[in-house]
Amino acid sequence: MKKSAHLEPMDASLQVRQPGSTSISIIVPVYNEEEVLLAFHNRLLASMYSVGRSWEVIYIDDGSRDTSNKLLRQLHAVTPQMGVLRFSRNFGKENAMSAGLRMCNGEAVIIIDADLQDPPELISPMISAWEAGADVVNMRRRKRAGESMVKRATSYAFYRIMNRVSDVALQQDVGDFRLLSRRVVDTLNQLPESNRFMKGLFSWVGFQQVALDYDRNPRAAGETKWNYWKLWNFALEGITGFSTAPLKIATYAGFISALWAFIYGAYFLLKTLFVGDAVTGFPTLIITILFLGGLQLMATGIIGEYLGRMFVESKRRPLYLVDQYHPPRQEMASFPAAEHRAVGR
């Protein structure tokens, strides 16, 4: 693996953070990762000891059904900097990340996957970028080994569409591997919505963002938790969460078809009046009915996508439920109040 990571030029007027013992938090969402957990943990430890700051790692067990939780408990017993939060069931990676952001105490917080696709060795250059003043350090994949052409093509299309229609600019080829400063984390924790499309929220907060390039490795072991149906729904979540453009499609499609109907109607009226041929035109009729029917269903469907999400938001359910929490034994700073730990809101 190449360790190269170059820092993009930044504004010289930025506030520079003093090196010292400021604490770093690492958040690791885990769902059925028994095959890689040990290898990941060891590489993380090696990387953290070379950083020379106090640190903690919070593993969020997103309702794993394999032996991940048992493994995490064993690692917890021998790693004083480690905390384990277990959800009552699988709530998804977005919610796992939200939980981690709420639980951690670090001045800088790094989110990293457990499958070793995000190399833990890059934590050190990420911290350097934060020390230099960045609030968000985005890790941009230079190459995506082990991912199919179709996945890369759909991902490319998604970013193109998202950036065209939404108000926030999503960074192409940046996943969830990133560093966030304390003020960014505090801002994210205050957001009330249950639609946690984190990639969008990370961009939405703004502040000083920099990007480091890295080569994304294939998964060390185990399987990806994503399939195309999940990715499609994830994309819908992102688009509906950050843009109302699809709703406008319905409006404009309506305008265009009304205009077309008016012109076409006038044509038939005149034709009937002057030529008197009223019976032909069955194909036109059937096409028109089907086209308009389809258009109406589509528009209703788009509205439904938004309505459904409003329904979910309005219930104000917690983002996740905690089954168990085992905090790090080596406390870095004061932990959040107990009620914040019990449920996700």
Among residues 90, 128, 154, 187, the one that binds ligand UDP under rule CB under 6 A: 90
DSSP 238-293: HHHHH--HHHHHHHHHHHHHHHHHHHHHHHHHHHHHHT---S--HHHHHHHHHHHH
Among candidates 58, 34, 173, which has minimal Cα distance to 115? Answer: 34
Closest CB 266 distance from ligand UDP, rounded Å? 54
Please say which residue, 76 or 141, places its beta carbon nearer to ligand UDP: 141
Please say which residue, 56 or 62, places its beta carbon nearer to ligand UDP: 62
Distance CA 40, CA 33 (A): 10
Closest CB 306 distance from Mg ion, rounded Å? 30
Among residues 107, 115, 135, 173, the one that binds ligand UDP under rule CB under 6 A: 115
Distance CA 72, CA 69 (A): 5
Q: Residues 6 or more apart from 134 whose CB is under 8 A from it? A: 10, 14, 179, 181, 208, 209, 210
Burial (Cβ within 10 Å: 0-12, 13-18, ≥19) of residue 314: exposed
Compute the half-sphere exposure of residue 53: CA atoms within 13 Å on the CB side of its CA: 22
Give the 3-state secondary structure of residue 116.
coil
Span near ligand UDP by CB under 6 A; candidates 107-115, 157-165, 261-269, 334-342: 107-115
255 binds, among ligand UDP, Mg ion, none (CB under 5 to 8 A by kind): none
Q: Which of residues 185-244 bind ligand UDP (CB under 6 A)?
A: 224-226
Q: Which of residues 21-50 bind ligand UDP (CB under 6 A)?
A: 29-31, 33
Amino acid at 152: R
Question: Residues 196, 175, 37, CA angle at the centre, nearest 5°?
Answer: 95
Q: Which of residues 105-134 bind Mg ion (CB under 5 A)?
A: 115, 117
Among residues 48, 72, 82, 96, the one that binds ligand UDP under rule CB under 6 A: 96
Handedness of CA 45, 213, 184, 162 (dihedral sign): negative
Please say which residue, 76 or 86, places its beta carbon nearer to ligand UDP: 86
Please say which residue, 30 or 188, places its beta carbon nearer to ligand UDP: 30
Q: Which of residues 46-75 bind ligand UDP (CB under 6 A)?
A: 62
Please say which residue, 102 or 141, places its beta carbon nearer to Mg ion: 141
Distance CA 47, CA 38 (A): 14
Closest CB 224 distance from ligand UDP, rounded Å? 3
Place of tokens 């030029």: 9
Distance CA 124, CA 303 (A): 46
Total binding residues for Mg ion by CB under 5 A? Answer: 2
Closest CB 262 distance from Mg ion, rounded Å? 53
Residues forming a β-bridge with 324: 86
Distance CA 345, CA 343 (A): 6
Closest CB 224 distance from Mg ion, rounded Å? 6
83 binds, among Mg ion, ligand UDP, none (CB under 5 to 8 A by kind): none
Please say which residue, 79 or 117, places its beta carbon nearer to ligand UDP: 117
Q: Is 118 in the site for ligand UDP (CB under 6 A)?
A: no
76 binds, among Mg ion, ligand UDP, none (CB under 5 to 8 A by kind): none
Among residues 114, 179, 205, 210, the one that binds ligand UDP under rule CB under 6 A: 114
Distance CA 328, CA 57 (A): 8
Residues binding ligand UDP (CB under 6 A): 29-31, 33, 62, 90, 92-93, 96, 113-115, 117, 224-226
Binding site for Mg ion (CB under 5 A): 115, 117
